[in-house]
Amino acid sequence: MMKNLLAQRANPDVTSALSGLFPTDTHPDAISFAAGSPRESLFPVKEMQRAFHDAIDQQGAHLFQYQTAQGNPELRAKLAARIGKWGQVVTTADNVVLTVGGQQAIELVAKALLDPGDEVAVEVPTYVGALAAFDLYQPTYHAVGLQADGLDLDQLEETLRQHPGIKLLYTVPDYHNPTGITMSVAKRRQLVDLANRYDFVILEDSPYRDLGYVQSPLPAIKSFDTQGRVVFVSSMSKILMPALRTGWLVADGDLLAAIMKVRFGSDLETTGVTHAAINVFMEENDLDAHVNVLKNHYREQCAAMVAALQADFPDEVDFTTPQGGFFDWVTLPAGIDTGKLLANQIIPQAHVSYVPGTNFYPNRDSHNGLRLCFTGMTPDEIAVGMKRLGDQVKAAVRE
């Protein structure tokens, strides 16, 4: 009705990268590997309840007053120390900005950098939420492939030669969503060299970096940044709870100033009450010990999924072997559309779901991939669901 009044970015004829992503199946035997949610039974609810209570007790009415635009200084100091320790990024609380989830951090970077038509490079497949945020600023995308050790830097450099106007590169270097791939240290260093040479900003989005099941976190890309051109983003969603809606970024100099400028227009400041509670939570509890509990569960779930991919899937299918995070990426032979397969065959016949791969590509031009999330199901459920899925995939491949 009001269509003619809407901005192009809200054009209802263009679907958001996030719309219709998660298939629904209400069958009692349904097994879902679709939503990328953390496991609810592992949420530290009592501890967080106490932290909220204690934060309010400690600060009273003042806690509910307007606070600072960058967010709770004590929490920022803790996060700066944490990224120093586990990401080798030397920074201070002054360079940390608290945001409404990592999602807002991504959106703020896009808002600070992109005018319509500006050029953005993204690895493919990539995180759909980032595409949804970038889409609002109407960029031109350049897709760069992923290899087993992360972004294909030769392809990136070729793309940069052809399109020297590229302003921003978005990457998820640790246990990537949707593929589970991790970028090697050598590539992290080389990527910063490329950014310095070709003059672009790197948006390093790393909400899963704590959740490595094989080794400690690798140095962040940001740790190699000497010119203030990397913005590091992370989040409490995967290591605490997503409804806290608490993410954070680390930025320097002009970029930090630009991000703060656009942030004033968005929301003035973030949810200070929640941040004070998270700060108290981190004083009263050992966050690393909690992360270890998560890792012990997720490691087994991840192993169950990889074992099933090896045992129950046909040779024509490729899959990644993640060393952390939430996801596995499966590639079926070209010509199979995983969206149609899911809707027409797999859900009706096997009641198993995944996220079809198309939306993870900015130009929606690849259809034979699919994302599996292993955090929602127990190892036994994973074995059952993957057997059912593997049988369907075999049938589809041999058709």
Binding site for ligand PMP (CB under 6 A): 36, 101-103, 127, 129, 172, 177, 205, 207, 235, 237, 242, 247
Which residues on adjacent β-strands are paired with residue 102?
none
175 or 313: CB nearest ligand PMP: 175
Give the torsion sign (CA, 170, 173, 176, 177): negative
211 or 350: CB nearest ligand PMP: 211
Q: How many CB atoms lie within 10 A of CB 7?
A: 8
125 or 242: CB nearest ligand PMP: 242
Q: Is the peptide bond before 379 cis (omega within 30 degrees of 0)?
A: no
233 or 341: CB nearest ligand PMP: 233
Q: Smallest distance from the beta carbon of 289 to ligand PMP, in angstroms?
A: 22
What angle do the packed helices 101-113 and 253-267 form, to 10 degrees?
A: 110
88, two tokens: 């080798």
198 or 298: CB nearest ligand PMP: 298
Phi, psi for residue 327 in degrees, rounded to 5? -130, 155
DSSP string across 100-115: EHHHHHHHHHHHHH--
101 or 385: CB nearest ligand PMP: 101
Q: Smallest distance from the beta carbon of 327 to ligand PMP, in angstroms?
A: 8
Q: Smallest distance from the beta carbon of 207 to ligand PMP, in angstroms?
A: 5
Q: Smallest distance from the beta carbon of 176 to ligand PMP, in angstroms?
A: 7
Q: What is the distance between the alpha carbons of residues 331 and 180, in angstroms, rounded to a whole number?
A: 13
**Which of 334, 302, 280, 346 lies closest to 44 in space, CA to CA?**
280
**Which of 86, 65, 46, 42 lies closest to 276 in space, CA to CA?**
65
Nearest residue (beta carbon) to ligand PMP? 101
Q: What is the distance between the alpha carbons of residues 77 and 93, in angstroms, rounded to a whole number?
A: 4
Q: What is the distance between the alpha carbons of residues 158 and 144, in angstroms, rounded to a whole number?
A: 10
137 or 198: CB nearest ligand PMP: 137
**Strands of the chain, DSSP E:** 31-32, 96-100, 119-124, 140-147, 150-151, 168-171, 201-205, 230-235, 246-250, 318-319, 327-331, 352-353, 355-356, 369-373
Q: Smallest distance from the beta carbon of 20 to ligand PMP, in angstroms?
A: 16
Q: How far apart are the first and last CA of the chain?
A: 45
180 or 390: CB nearest ligand PMP: 180
Indicate the DSSP class of residue 212: B
Q: Smallest distance from the beta carbon of 201 to ligand PMP, in angstroms?
A: 17
Q: Smallest distance from the beta carbon of 363 to ligand PMP, in angstroms?
A: 19
Q: What is the distance between the alpha carbons of residues 36 and 21, in angstroms, rounded to a whole number?
A: 11
Q: Smallest distance from the beta carbon of 387 to ligand PMP, in angstroms?
A: 27
59 or 266: CB nearest ligand PMP: 266
Q: Smallest distance from the beta carbon of 326 to ligand PMP, in angstroms?
A: 8
